[in-house]
Structure 1
């Protein structure tokens, strides 16, 4: 403000808040009276009174200015703020970025105030159907579709009054992001170089990928392989197009060199290896002048080879002799080189022995067999045994036996010398235990044989828990016997027999078992019929002569073929009609074994004639005599009871 000796202070007093009436007063000092006054009320109205009253049409914040001038043209200035009730005020709305992109983070911010209170809520309408409410004035949003959207922000104060402001935001399609990497880079002439497309589209997808390799050749696809024909530096360009047709590209330089072959070198230890010994081969001294080694391939000269990602290897030669070992190294550009070295493998003897059993038994010789020991390029000339119990055999052969006197675990050692005085040793731990007896198990089939049938007897399930059974002795219960793990025997007479088996093991221990077996007989069935010519209503006699069994007694059952039956060695029967009948005899012995015989019997018509009722004449006479006799007997019984009534 310009310098003045006049001083003015403007004051404001709201006299009617509902109608927005304000009383202003000017307090002036200094200068040269009289004074002139000019009030600017901040709503485009003014006054020249010293203490005016003013009515505002609406609420808000109004900066009121007072200018006082004295008679000497000196001026004084004063400003007072008048705040009247009303809606909040929004002074600025910003959107970043604008334009924005589909699915891109977009921030929104509003600046505002409430002249007579505070803003309690900010409501954003993003124009795509989405809204945001918060007590603070900032927000963010992601648009999912292209277009221009009218964004409206509404501020609401503590009196419930609202003010809105709008801005336009433009949503564009995002271009794709071009990205690729090269493997390897640098590369070499003639080596397939891989180009991987890692591009992406933030709001869609990559529709096509095109490559320019800088050597006059092109390619398409998200992954391509290319081989450069000559050395040099090539600018490779990837161009990608998204689903909306937006395009992006990226350039990268690939260096193409002429590959230098790797250098192969290796050593091995021990320097004088022997067959069966692990030999360590070290190829880490190999190197590649312009890259690195990726594979070490070993050819050991014995028909075996191996390839690995590391530079060392172990190998065991099973046979002695000279071998040419070749190491081939491959670098990261498939360049190869090799080197070869000669080595000689000696063959010492090998020592080994087996035992007749896995364990020893006190007092029983245990056989040791070193026949498996050998010398592939010569012969074994000496065997030395140490049994671990103080006993030894220093000038023995490959097969020895030894008796241990006590139960314990012994370490048995064999040392062999070949004809070149090379040695080898072998040890085995032998547990010595007390001997155990065997157990006997017998079986036979069939379980119920007939007399004369061959019965198979088997004792092979018998066992010796700590060795082998050397002898099987059988007694069949009928005075016969035999030896062997399995035998056959025939019983000549029926009956129950006790079979006994005794087994003996290598230690001389024996065990026995027994089982009962029943030999049964098969009866013979036969019969005859008399008379030779049989007539109806005449007695026919059936006799089981010719039937027999070794056990003697039989049970006889007859089936006469006309629905009638009979029993006994001999029985009689009258047929009531002529015809041919199948007569069956079933004989059963005491073992329940049955035999059946069947004969056809021909019955002739009756030789006496037949009455009207179908019965023979002779039979009618006989029945009449029987009837008269029965009547006489009945009369006699009646007369006796009349003459001698019973006593009560």
Structure 2
């Protein structure tokens, strides 16, 4: 559309344009907004005090001027405009009171509806505001008089544009301060035109002719797609000023959020600078605006529509575990020590391991073996039966003096160097079943029988692999990570007709987070002005949830277990594996 101001010859009335509607191929505006434009027209850029993003419809005022232009109504919402109304304010010359007389204005005709000066009445507030319970900050108090153009019964379909022909007839001596301001609203859908997307009919004499405004631009074009949790960079370096330089860059990351708390969400400055960053922690759809100001005080605004897409959670299955007690029973030569250590992912070739899970030491004293002193009665061991990790018991033998022993008080002679000590490694399972393994340590015996190893005793290495048993509880552990503020649900299908479901809320104080659209009242989480920037624990996204559940199988068999983790926006992650359940513990 041309934005060059066209001079219109006095008393020449252009033929009325036929009302028409054109579908929008794509919409870069926020859902539920009506955007106004005019032809001929141009961006306000701060001219006459109007917002940088607004549109002015200039005309060269002359006595008895009859001027025809086109009002463009763009329905950017998802519902048709069934009851469109244009609130028209006529505002006379300053200083107050801004009286409009027949010298300034005679009438305005929109399509077939004519509105004369006498049809405009006084009201304290803009009728646009009265419909929505707030102030539009166009005029305050009695600064203007108002009338309403009613477009019904004509309907403007969703995502389409309507063109309305308007003809203004001025009085015999119009003041250059006279203007007509237009706001749009629909009483059924409650769609409305936001600040910066309304139009004003003004005198062309108020437009500076000796200075050119800057041109705002955001790198990346009209629309971008990002993901929740991304640090998004907004770059205004493509903006420029034809006859000077840009002195400020002001960004508004969401016109729906009143970040400065003044009651107007469309005048916020959320960041300054040519290049800025921002992160959304939930899926969303929003217009980001950049307003640039040049060295002459002129402004321009550019918009970039941002689609923030959901990211599904990442799932890590950490294993299925059987818990049992490990203990040592030591007989044979007195004063000798045996130590048990349990390792996760132990390499018997190198002795390397991922984690030491516990240790237990027993010393052979005179008397019954069950009365031997020890550093503890037993070790509680949790062994993965899903094959994720390996668990190993390493038992070492010490026939020498107290140095390094966990139990002190044995005799200096420390038994006979040629003595032997039989050892039992006892595993006691939750159902009372015991599994016993046997080994005999001998001071003068070694796997490597040579002079260098004659008195060295290699450790006894026992693989602790066990299987799952019917009737015994199994502990299942999984961890999910979400980059945003989504609630997570863990659904376990046990393959035996039973299932378990656990819901974890990002913030239990506010409760479940509805999916977008329409979204929760606090989406998108993450704005610096958002008091709920962190959840009630003070944790910033990403959020990490570990789910621990127990399940007991009632019968032998092979079962397919499926875990599905779902975020509140429908993103999922799934893990599935088979588990064999036997009738008794084996491996003894």
TM-score range (shorter-chain normalised) is under 0.3
TM-score by length of 2: 0.21
TM-score by length of 1: 0.19
Q: Which has the higher strand share?
A: 1
Structure (1 or 2) with the larger CA radius of gyration: 1
